[in-house]
Structure 1
């Protein structure tokens, strides 16, 4: 952190050190710490390639030897150099494996350090309200509890290697095209029960920083919203780290500093000289600047005094074998088997020739081209993975551009794989042209180009050409397996009867093709579970307008909405088949002190070893206030050999069962009979009840 003295060893010494540093700094030096610097020039020099270098995003004072915050993005890997590309965040959400996410976070922390970064934006925990959201792939799913657990694992993993993690985007950011203008209205219950708990979960786990969102909440931009940044984040949650804006349009008024924004990124377009002047003229109190700098310095010094787990962080650690192996593990665990009539796993002795259809089968397609883009040293496509496993001669390829060729390939094969889904053109961060973000001039917002990519999806269905390809494959009367590459739910109604098996494979990272081949042929047993609900009809989801100026978020979305309305999904939240079957029994629950303790027995009644994601839901009495029928409050993975029984145990804090009372602006635990659910999905559970 400093080049003069070692970091302070105790909390008292740390605060004394911060006070001493602030006493030596002028107002302009302090304000300089409250913004990024050099971003526009760097982007110009780097031909607008995002992540070509670390970005200075606040902090630092050369005169006093203080190191700045050097930022890298990276929900699916470090967005620098040629880093390991993991499956996208949504795919990792489907693993329901917090330990795996912790290890991936540690790998990202190592690769960030090895590439000159000490500040990471990899933890995206915005709630998936509607599957059309373009950046759904960057988050973990639709359930707040699941988001909190997985995000905390990622963030604490990153911080293991003394890289400061930030959680984003605070708050209620789940639309892309309208993100710079939309006003999201939410009442107190929706805000505190649905859209904020996962942020608090991560901060309680020790995540040290928060990035604000672009949108407005209840009429005010998040980057200058005193309710969010001070009343909730500081006063109620007692967060003591620093808060920074998203890039370029993250704050509009100098009063954002008074509201609780500590750093404007990536340049001082609003703070800087304007903030100095506001302090000098009495419009902003001097303590506001001191407070922001104290938060920044305290956080940096706290990390600087910790010992590094590794002796050095050299370039050889970037995309090293251990991290590539971790990417493969994640790709194996994330795939969700949606349907299977027994066609899968394919057998090598019976499938001598495999038709692999679809342009996406041969495309390096790891996710969108926005700020989360990773440029790995290689990408194994589905086609490459299968040819590596089966041999070049055994794999036939055609795509939707020539249906006759596709029919011929299917007719000549013993089985057919159709790879479908999307690319960065159909969904992802909404980018007008390349990521300019002001690099070609010094604007108040991103520079524009007439060719947008990404953004919110226009449709929840597959492109018509891909549907035609599936139907052409089905004409062969050969077994048809459909793999879906996407960031969230895809409707399947118009073609699902043409397929014998459907696999949600997501944007599966640099080793995705390797994992897919292993899953199809049974070398690996599918174990992913849906982190979102797939409906039968787009009308079953909440209202979504990707060009909205204003929208209301209420308590209901995903599985809680469908269950409330008595609508059966096509595939429930938590759904995922296996190549074996699991039997649940002996569900037991009791109140023990300040928690509910739950256990359930799970037996593998098939003939292959496999993982099962066991889920625990709780339903409140819902007499004092309407509540969801059930809400996820625990999940764990069990690896079970054939005929082996394992016990899944959960300890659920009573505090997590409370509801927000708008009358008192506090939390209430309702007394009465609670329903306990445990099973393999939100719709397949054993149930019991307890008195709380």
Structure 2
């Protein structure tokens, strides 16, 4: 048989691909099939590249040289392609704050293009683990705390990537919401917590067509995810009918060869457990031959289906990497992600009244786009807050000092008309935990500028700003000048210690390569802030679920974030979905009806301000909660609307009744009775009506 050429052919049918796959399998030896079930050459490549992650595409399974089959060539994400000098977008959590699925789709397309331009056909950019607690070090890599929001945004990203015929993988499956203990922790979760809170966003993405799943390192109910038959076969295959392939996370993603029988198709990045051990297990009758055939069939079917699709672009040249269009997209995302938490009228600043601006904090001058783990992107440039403001106002109009010299900071504040304090974290305080051999030697002495000192990242040790930054804020406030604080972080930061000392607070996140430009535009009113919090900011750390970053075992239940605080009657400092604007918005005319097995909702929103602005309209549904305790409300829709001053728009949502079912054992039940319907600008500020279902 002639080996297939993996060039896109739009007329290829599923039946033809299936027949071709069977013909290929018939030609392969057991050893060749098992070779497809693992990555190859990673450790050698990493050594040759001086341990710079992403210096080349990584062979992540698949491939057969004798038959001319291409391997899977992997690039990570999720804030950009982790190769070369790619576009660095705002971190995923920042993009979650945009509540803009269309924007996320376009960013996914850009990542797909840049991945193709750098010889990759497999992307790990879709991270949708649920933010259970803000101390989680890799919170910045996901979209937020709500399963519905995670599913919608993740599906948009994956769809965008796959538009350019790169296979997307959704990660990390499942219940991965801790960092330091990720290799050992056993997460206990009952059927309801699993299926109602921690898994539905994965199903949402797979139903949207994302073609691969990456397992997580942790255990769930006593078994490592990479060899968990319940997760990988009973749920993924039997219940959800997923037909793509499943692969492990990098190093220590599987421990026993029975992982293949459980449903793991590929061990990455090397055959430490599969490989020769799996061949021997098959030969000795410990693993059935069909298990290997099944894995190879899934891999080949997915690869050939993508390879046969027609490319949207005629070519994917290097000139597309960090091109002007993608840089503009990064700037759009940075503009839309900023969340105005508080404002007493200080913002927006006016150029004519701000002859001198004091910009305080070491982070103001630091290229700080996120952690230094597997999601690290090395863009051609990064515009810092200080650089963005100096470009707007001129060098002489911007004074800079930091927390290392409070006297200099006070002097700068005294000499200015207004003060910006940039505070928050870096890769040292939060991010992927890089330590020891499990980090592939990243804890060794740096051999170049690509590595950070040890240890880096991990789960946060606290939820407040560092003491030196709090002292800086208070020193700025003592000047008597108006003070705004911009917070750079991956998730919630407690503000109780200093919020009363300042005039405005902005959550700016790790805002990507164009973040400094966007921050300047937002501060001076060229851009109206429109981001909304994709998580809840509490008044006290005890209001969040229990968190132990060194835990051997932990229980995840139904309650976290806004559902937990509402259940307990605790007011947050800033609610999920909260975000102020330079305009104002009024909601009215909330209507709901049941039609075609769905709740149809409409609400009017009017811009009551003096300038054009975007508003994120949110729709929540509250179930009766008689048959089983349910959340007061659950997000089931969101829409970004652009409104001119005085303009009114009607936001419409269709909420399938199936999405309101609750898990009863192995079944799903739709409770009949009175449902509450909410629509508004945050989870805490909604109009409410009720409807019988």
TM-score normalised to structure 2 length = 0.97
Correspondence for 1:571:
574
Q: Work out the CA distance in 2 between the residues paired with 1:313 and 1:380.
A: 27
> How has the CA–CA distance of structure 1 residues 17 and 432 changed in structure 2, closer, same or farther, with 3 Å as cutoff?
same
> How has the CA–CA distance of structure 1 residues 584 and 556 changed in structure 2, closer, same or farther, with 3 Å as cutoff?
same
Q: Work out the CA distance in 2 between the residues paired with 1:440 and 1:207.
A: 34
1:403 is aligned to 2:406: yes
* Cα contact 1:433–1:451 (8 A) shared by 2: no
Q: Work out the CA distance in 1 between the residues paired with 2:240 and 2:628.
A: 24
* 1:65 aligned to which of 68, 74, 80: 68
Correspondence for 2:595:
592
SS at match of 1:71: strand
Correspondence for 2:5:
3
* Cα contact 1:612–1:639 (8 A) shared by 2: yes
1:211 is aligned to 2:203: no
After superposition, the C-alpha distances for 1:172-215 in whole angstroms (9 at most, x for unaligned) are 00000000000000000000000000000000000000000000
Q: Work out the CA distance in 1 between the residues paired with 2:69 and 2:624.
A: 54
Q: Work out the CA distance in 2 between the residues paired with 1:341 and 1:88.
A: 28
After superposition, the C-alpha distances for 1:48-69 in whole angstroms (9 at most, x for unaligned) are 0000000000000011010000
SS at match of 1:198: helix
* 1:93 aligned to which of 85, 93, 96: 96
Q: Work out the CA distance in 2 between the residues paired with 1:633 and 1:4.
A: 40
> How has the CA–CA distance of structure 1 residues 435 and 261 changed in structure 2, closer, same or farther, with 3 Å as cutoff?
closer
Correspondence for 1:275:
278
Correspondence for 1:688:
689
Q: Work out the CA distance in 2 between the residues paired with 1:105 and 1:85.
A: 12
Correspondence for 1:122:
125
Deviation at 1:10, TM superposition (A): 1.1
* Cα contact 1:40–1:440 (8 A) shared by 2: no
1:603 is aligned to 2:606: yes
* 1:515 aligned to which of 483, 506, 518: 518
* 1:393 aligned to which of 381, 396, 409: 396
* 1:176 aligned to which of 155, 172, 179: 179
> How has the CA–CA distance of structure 1 residues 439 and 63 changed in structure 2, closer, same or farther, with 3 Å as cutoff?
farther
Q: Work out the CA distance in 2 between the residues paired with 1:681 and 1:72.
A: 36
Unaligned runs of 5+ residues in structure 2 are 445-450
* Cα contact 2:359–2:419 (8 A) shared by 1: yes
After superposition, the C-alpha distances for 1:197-250 in whole angstroms (9 at most, x for unaligned) are 000000000000000000000000000000000000000000000000000110
* Cα contact 1:386–1:395 (8 A) shared by 2: yes
* Cα contact 1:48–1:436 (8 A) shared by 2: no
* Cα contact 2:6–2:304 (8 A) shared by 1: no
Q: Work out the CA distance in 1 between the residues paired with 2:442 and 2:578.
A: 44
Correspondence for 1:474:
477
Correspondence for 2:319:
316
Q: Work out the CA distance in 2 between the residues paired with 1:367 and 1:621.
A: 42
Q: Work out the CA distance in 2 between the residues paired with 1:39 and 1:668.
A: 46
Deviation at 1:449, TM superposition (A): 11
Deviation at 1:432, TM superposition (A): 1.5
* Cα contact 1:433–1:452 (8 A) shared by 2: no
SS at match of 1:561: helix
Unaligned runs of 5+ residues in structure 1 are 442-447
SS at match of 1:489: coil
Correspondence for 2:374:
371
Q: Work out the CA distance in 1 between the residues paired with 2:526 and 2:452.
A: 46
1:227 is aligned to 2:227: no
Deviation at 1:451, TM superposition (A): 2.2
Q: Work out the CA distance in 1 between the residues paired with 2:611 and 2:667.
A: 49
Deviation at 1:9, TM superposition (A): 1.2
Q: How many residues align?
A: 684
Q: Work out the CA distance in 2 between the residues paired with 1:528 and 1:108.
A: 22
* Cα contact 1:336–1:530 (8 A) shared by 2: yes
After superposition, the C-alpha distances for 1:345-378 in whole angstroms (9 at most, x for unaligned) are 0000101100000000000000000000000000
1:139 is aligned to 2:142: yes
Deviation at 1:12, TM superposition (A): 1.1
Q: Work out the CA distance in 1 between the residues paired with 2:386 and 2:594.
A: 52
1:347-496 paired onto structure 2 within 5 Å:
347-432=350-435, 436-437=439-440, 451-496=454-499
> How has the CA–CA distance of structure 1 residues 440 and 143 changed in structure 2, closer, same or farther, with 3 Å as cutoff?
closer
Correspondence for 2:661:
658
Q: Work out the CA distance in 2 between the residues paired with 1:4 and 1:147.
A: 33
Q: Work out the CA distance in 2 between the residues paired with 1:50 and 1:594.
A: 48
SS at match of 2:251: coil
1:533 is aligned to 2:536: yes
Correspondence for 2:675:
674
Correspondence for 1:43:
46
* Cα contact 2:618–2:637 (8 A) shared by 1: yes
* Cα contact 1:560–1:631 (8 A) shared by 2: yes
* Cα contact 1:170–1:222 (8 A) shared by 2: yes
* Cα contact 1:171–1:222 (8 A) shared by 2: yes
1:150-299 paired onto structure 2 within 5 Å:
150-299=153-302
* Cα contact 2:434–2:443 (8 A) shared by 1: no
> How has the CA–CA distance of structure 1 residues 383 and 5 changed in structure 2, closer, same or farther, with 3 Å as cutoff?
closer
Correspondence for 1:445:
none
Q: Work out the CA distance in 2 between the residues paired with 1:199 and 1:4.
A: 29
> How has the CA–CA distance of structure 1 residues 690 and 4 changed in structure 2, closer, same or farther, with 3 Å as cutoff?
closer
After superposition, the C-alpha distances for 1:237-273 in whole angstroms (9 at most, x for unaligned) are 0000000000011000000000000000000000000
> How has the CA–CA distance of structure 1 residues 134 and 63 changed in structure 2, closer, same or farther, with 3 Å as cutoff?
same
* Cα contact 1:44–1:440 (8 A) shared by 2: no
* Cα contact 2:443–2:453 (8 A) shared by 1: no
* Cα contact 1:77–1:108 (8 A) shared by 2: yes
After superposition, the C-alpha distances for 1:472-519 in whole angstroms (9 at most, x for unaligned) are 000110000000000000000000011100000000000000000000
* Cα contact 2:252–2:438 (8 A) shared by 1: no
After superposition, the C-alpha distances for 1:610-663 in whole angstroms (9 at most, x for unaligned) are 00000000000000000000000000000000000001000111100000002x
Deviation at 1:3, TM superposition (A): 3.0
After superposition, the C-alpha distances for 1:19-60 in whole angstroms (9 at most, x for unaligned) are 000000000000000000000000000000000000000000
Correspondence for 1:444:
none
TM-score normalised to structure 1 length = 0.98
Deviation at 1:594, TM superposition (A): 1.4
Deviation at 1:5, TM superposition (A): 8.7
SS at match of 1:365: coil
> How has the CA–CA distance of structure 1 residues 80 and 435 changed in structure 2, closer, same or farther, with 3 Å as cutoff?
farther
> How has the CA–CA distance of structure 1 residues 688 and 37 changed in structure 2, closer, same or farther, with 3 Å as cutoff?
same
